[in-house]
């Protein structure tokens, strides 16, 4: 028998912006009343932050394929328009980076995107993008939160009359922009000739039709239908949700052993990407980022910094060193990468969760552009993705495996005790290995004597411990992760 639901558990959580936006359970935390409250304040924060440099009062409003996304977007657009802003409302769902692209192309103050990205279907959310084409820095979301806490209304600060809301197609300009950055014709020719077979798992999300729009016929799309419940899982490019992709590629490989096969996986709003090789093996961005660094540096001639988050693979700086590229490390969250992209010449910025962006594009992670570059690398080399990865391991003389787990905690009080333990009594030994160093720019990353590392990091909004490890073998990575689980359960 299920435990009774207490009134306290139904109380709405305070509106708080995490690593990329505000997310909440639909009808409990994420409601029409709250969207109408937040949206004009977000527009005002964008105006206060960027209004002096961007001669515009335009706000882009877009959405994904989740439950009620169109309706939430329309409510947000109406509220922002009523506050005196010019609003461009999307005619249809599209990837979040398409709306970041639109904000920059239309010289807007920014974009408000209704999406909960990779979260399960019970969630919706709001991402705030700047007119420069990327996630706003923490200062902007903190400004929104401060306005909410002070019960400020836009009407008290902004005079203006509602203007007619204009609608627009978010796909056309975005796809045209992506086509200029990749050798589309070479990929199309490889598909048409049978040299390359492409499977795309869009996970019922906003990437649906994306590769077909860019490359035409020949893309074999999986999970194209709109399913707000995401088959009971989550639209996150992780192995546990990709059974149909693995089975499809393995079955296809039994029928055709000669051509190159690439599987591409997109999260719910198409800003994260993963891949599956020709044998049906999962390839996270920890593997794709080194491949893309080499491809962009060698075959495309790009240069600049490689930006990695603290949870990124140690192979990333080793490949960067191979091509004399500087490396810059940030906390987890693509907004930190975007900030750096606005300050420096950047080749690529990537995070282990699948977000990859490019300095010659907008300062935004973009799964469709990453997918195109992955296909371009395979076509130009004539090699399977895993072969490209193994060659990089040989060139750098560095081999590793990586895994991560999310560990639910009993309460936020347990979270506080664990954090206090790390701050006051950090471990000097983990799973029998001496701790050589600890980096604490985001969580606690312990470098161990056997060259493996363990990162312990806390969710900012819920009682969840995020654990990451890279080691020579998967058994060693799991050894570190299991140590962290046992440690957490003992405090």
Residue 117, domain CATH = 3.40.120.10
pLDDT, residue 258, reads: 73
Q: Would you say residue 442 has pLDDT above 60?
A: yes
6 part of a folded domain: no
Residue-wise pLDDT for 161-182, tens only, equals 667 899 999 999 999 999 999 9
User: Which one is predicted more confidently, 378 or 259?
Assistant: 378
* Residue 367 structural domain: 181-396
Q: How far apart are CA 63 and CA 92, in angstroms?
A: 8
106 part of a folded domain: yes
Q: Would you say residue 6 has pLDDT above 70?
A: no
- Work out the average pLDDT over 49-76: 96
Q: Would you say residue 255 has pLDDT above 90?
A: no
| Residues of the chain above pLDDT 90, percent | 87
309 part of a folded domain: yes
Q: How many domains does the chain have?
A: 3
- Verify that 421 and 389 share a domain, yes or no: no
pLDDT, residue 1, reads: 37
- Verify that 296 and 366 share a domain, yes or no: yes
Please state the pTM of the whole predicted model.
0.93
32 part of a folded domain: yes
264 part of a folded domain: yes
Q: Would you say residue 220 has pLDDT above 80?
A: yes
- Work out the average pLDDT over 218-232: 97
**What's phi and psi for 264, nearest 5 deg?**
-120, 140
Residue-wise pLDDT for 342-363, tens only, equals 999 999 999 998 999 999 999 9
pLDDT, residue 13, reads: 85
At 10, the pLDDT band (50, 70, 90 cuts) reads low
| Residues of the chain above pLDDT 70, percent | 96
CB atoms within 10 A of CB 33: 9
| Edge-to-edge strand ranges of the sheet holding 260-266 | 219-222, 196-201, 260-266, 273-276, 282-283
423 part of a folded domain: yes
- Work out the average pLDDT over 434-445: 96
Q: How far apart are CA 33 and CA 160, in angstroms?
A: 22
Which residues contact residue 90 at a Cβ distance below 8 angstroms, ignoring those fewer than 6 apart? 60, 61, 62, 63, 73, 99, 167, 168, 169, 170
User: Which one is predicted more confidently, 412 or 256?
Assistant: 412
- Verify that 309 and 333 share a domain, yes or no: yes
At 334, the pLDDT band (50, 70, 90 cuts) reads confident
Q: How far apart are CA 37 and CA 33, in angstroms?
A: 6
pLDDT, residue 479, reads: 98
pLDDT, residue 162, reads: 64
At 276, the pLDDT band (50, 70, 90 cuts) reads very high
The region of weakest confidence among 73-77, 220-224, 255-259, 279-283 is 255-259
Q: How far apart are CA 421 and CA 333, in angstroms?
A: 24
pLDDT, residue 157, reads: 47
- Verify that 25 and 159 share a domain, yes or no: yes
- Verify that 211 and 348 share a domain, yes or no: yes
User: Per DSSP, what are the bridge partners of residue 277?
Assistant: none
450 part of a folded domain: yes
User: Which one is predicted more confidently, 483 or 2?
Assistant: 483
- Verify that 245 and 336 share a domain, yes or no: yes
Q: Which of 136, 171, 206 is the last residue of a domain?
A: 171
3 part of a folded domain: no
- Verify that 99 and 201 share a domain, yes or no: no
pLDDT, residue 153, reads: 72
- Work out the average pLDDT over 201-223: 97
- Verify that 324 and 295 share a domain, yes or no: yes
pLDDT, residue 3, reads: 41
pLDDT, residue 2, reads: 39
At 256, the pLDDT band (50, 70, 90 cuts) reads confident
- Verify that 386 and 408 share a domain, yes or no: no
Q: Would you say residue 443 has pLDDT above 70?
A: yes
The average confidence (pLDDT) of the chain is 93
- Work out the average pLDDT over 40-57: 94
- Verify that 331 and 190 share a domain, yes or no: yes
């Amino acid at each position: 028998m299920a435990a009774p639901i207490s009134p306290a558990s139904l109380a709405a959580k305070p509106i708080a912006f995490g690593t990329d936006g505000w997310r909440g359970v639909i009808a409990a935390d994420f409601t029409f009343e709250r969207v109408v409250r937040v949206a004009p304040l977000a527009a005002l924060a964008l105006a206060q932050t960027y209004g002096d440099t961007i001669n515009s009062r335009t706000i882009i409003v877009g959405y994904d394929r989740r439950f009620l996304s169109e309706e939430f977007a329309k409510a947000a657009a109406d509220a922002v328009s009523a506050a005196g802003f010019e609003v461009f409302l999307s005619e249809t769902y599209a990837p979040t980076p398409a709306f970041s692209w639109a904000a920059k192309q239309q010289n807007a103050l920014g974009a408000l995107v209704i999406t909960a990205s990779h979260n399960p279907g019970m969630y919706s959310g709001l991402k705030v993008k700047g007119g420069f084409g990327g996630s706003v820095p923490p200062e902007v979301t903190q400004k929104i939160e401060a306005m909410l806490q002070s019960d400020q209304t836009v009407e008290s600060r902004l005079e203006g009359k509602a203007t007619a809301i204009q609608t627009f197609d978010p796909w056309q300009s975005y796809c045209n922009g992506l086509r200029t950055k990749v050798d589309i014709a070479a990929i199309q020719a490889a598909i048409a000739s049978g040299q390359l077979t492409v499977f795309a798992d869009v996970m019922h999300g906003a990437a649906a039709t994306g590769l077909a729009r860019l490359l035409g016929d020949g893309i074999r799309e999986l999970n194209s239908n709109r399913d707000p419940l995401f088959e009971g899982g989550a639209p996150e490019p992780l192995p546990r949700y990709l059974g149909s992709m693995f089975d499809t590629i393995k079955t296809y490989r039994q029928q055709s052993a000669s051509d190159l096969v690439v599987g591409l996986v997109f999260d719910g709003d198409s800003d994260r990407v993963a891949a599956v090789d020709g044998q049906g093996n999962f390839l996270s961005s920890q593997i794709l980022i080194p491949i893309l660094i080499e491809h962009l540096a060698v075959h495309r001639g790009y240069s600049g910094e490689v930006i990695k988050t603290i949870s990124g693979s140690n192979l990333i700086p080793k490949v960067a060193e191979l091509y004399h590229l500087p490396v810059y490390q940030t906390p987890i969250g693509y907004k930190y990468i975007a900030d750096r992209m606005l300050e420096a010449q950047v080749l690529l910025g990537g995070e282990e969760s699948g977000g990859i962006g490019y300095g010659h594009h907008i300062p935004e992670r973009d799964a469709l552009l990453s997918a195109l570059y992955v296909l371009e690398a395979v076509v130009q080399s004539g090699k399977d993705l895993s072969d490209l990865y193994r060659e990089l391991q040989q060139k750098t003389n560095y081999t590793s495996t990586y895994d991560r787990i999310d560990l639910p905690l009993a309460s936020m009080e347990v979270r506080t005790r664990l954090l206090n333990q790390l701050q006051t009594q950090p471990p000097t030994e983990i799973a029998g290995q001496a701790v050589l160093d600890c980096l604490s720019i985001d969580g606690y990353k312990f470098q161990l004597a056997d060259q493996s590392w363990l990162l312990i990091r806390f969710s900012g909004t819920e009682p969840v411990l995020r654990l990451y490890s890279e080691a020579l073998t998967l058994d060693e990575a799991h050894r570190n992760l299991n140590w962290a689980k046992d440690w957490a359960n003992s405090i």
